[in-house]
Chain A
Amino acid sequence: MEAGVTKRKGLVINDRQLDRCDDLLRKLKDVSGSSFLALISTSGQPITTASDDYHPETLSLASLAASSFAATQQLARILDENEFTLLFHEGKGMNLHVSQVTDQVLLIITFGRETQVGKVRLYSQRAIEVLRQIFEGSDDGAVPEMDADFENAAANAMDYLFRDM
């Protein structure tokens, strides 16, 4: 690390947090009848998912959902509403439900027409209460010291990836 560089606040997930999140998402998926769940950061980066199948567009989904949610919050301010804590898109065959867990974490749920939105809303609210405790209870958000060799190894990886450009 460079001398004098100040550590910045970040979102750090440890093993125990991730295990508890994964366990909770699996349960939420089962009881709510949803097809895909993801925890993402408010800056648009995926944390973990629960899905029957690998979702190839998870990165794009996370980016778009986080941005859309951020825009919704700004709309709330313009309308003098304290906050909109939920974003819901209803499609012909698929619905998208995005809700806020903490200042830094969002929960994305997709579900089909066979599942009632009220059911998703009810169970997701209960899950969020537990998720909030997981994220708020164990970490101050400080970015820990990475391995001393990480910077050099990353630089080498970049040189290799961009070698012919």
Chain B
Amino acid sequence: MPLINFAAREINYKIVYYGCGLCGKTTNLQYIHRKINPEARGKLVSIATEEERTLYFDFLPLTLGTVKGMQTRFHLYTVPGQSYYNASRKLVLQGIDGIIFVADSQLTRLDENVESYLNLWDNLISQGDDLTKLGFVIQMNKRDLTDVFSVEDLNELLNHTGSPVIEASAITGQGVFETLKVVCKQVIAKTG
């Protein structure tokens, strides 16, 4: 649900990083915040617990600049990964244009990935969203670790929509911007 302000010549898109606890959602945002031109981003806001687990969300605004006379912005959010915070996750999903589902590739995290993926669908359906009308990318994170699922296996388990898949290691930055670029282009294509 982009906000298009023709009078102020602005267009804003909302993109949410979704996934189970400790899968690397906040790490994606921190890497983007650290590496991107400071003039193109705002302040990284985090509402986290004392243990630095996301309690409500992280927020990072990015400015693409003026595109065809329109100041174009992407507002990046994460949701809390722990299932305990599902009520907060639903709130962050309001008004979204695109989703990056961050899957933890480790063999030991399969159940959490599947639970989070199904929970995403439940939440979108309950608020009346149709995922086919949103930008959607699956990021397979932690590919730098050893005991991980193959991309093919994860794809079969978590990608029933046939959405783009990006291999990543958010902690090193591999695939972080590629993921963001793919979903940004998707959300523009859905409205442009």
* B65 at interface, CB cutoff 8 A: yes
Whether a CB of chain A sits under 8 angstroms from the CB of B151 is: no
Q: Is chain B's interface secondary structure helix, strand, loop, or mixed overall?
A: mixed
Beta-carbon contacts under 8 Å, A16-41 to B: 16-19, 41
The answer to whether B3 and A45 touch across the interface, beta carbons within 8 angstroms, is: yes
Q: State which of B54-62, B103-111, B116-124 sits at the interface with chain A.
A: B54-62
In angstroms, Cα B88 to Cα A47, docked, is 24
Chain A interface residue count, CB cutoff 8 Å, equals 49
Determine if A67 is an interface residue (Cβ-Cβ < 8 Å).
yes
Asked if B5 and A13 make an inter-chain contact with CB atoms under 8 angstroms apart, the answer reads: yes
Interface check B48, CB cutoff 8 A: no
Kindly identify which residue among B56, B181, B190 contacts A5, using a CB–CB cutoff of 8 Å: B190
Residue B8 CB within 8 A of the other chain? yes
Chain B residues numbered 60-79 whose CB sits less than 8 Å from any CB in chain A: 61, 64-65, 67-68, 70, 72-73, 75, 77
Per the 8 Å Cβ criterion, residues 157-173 of B in contact with A are 173
Specify the chain B residue showing the minimal Cβ separation from A162.
B177
Greatest chain B CB density within 10 A among A14, A19, A151 is at A151
**Contact A71 to B185, CB < 8 A, known contacts A10-B191, A12-B4, A162-B180:** no
Which one, B19-27, B37-45, B136-144, is touching chain A?
A: B37-45
Are A71's CB and B91's CB within 8 A? yes
* A contact residues vs B (CB 8 Å cutoff): 1-2, 5-19, 41-45, 47-48, 57, 59-60, 63-64, 67, 70-71, 74, 143-144, 146-147, 149-151, 153-155, 157-159, 161-162, 165
User: Can you list 20 pairs linking A and B with CB atoms under 8 Å apart?
Assistant: A2-B189, A8-B97, A8-B133, A11-B2, A13-B6, A41-B3, A43-B1, A63-B45, A64-B59, A67-B92, A74-B91, A150-B188, A154-B185, A155-B185, A157-B64, A157-B72, A161-B36, A162-B180, A165-B36, A165-B176
CB-based closest 4 A-B pairs? A43-B95, A18-B7, A165-B177, A151-B192
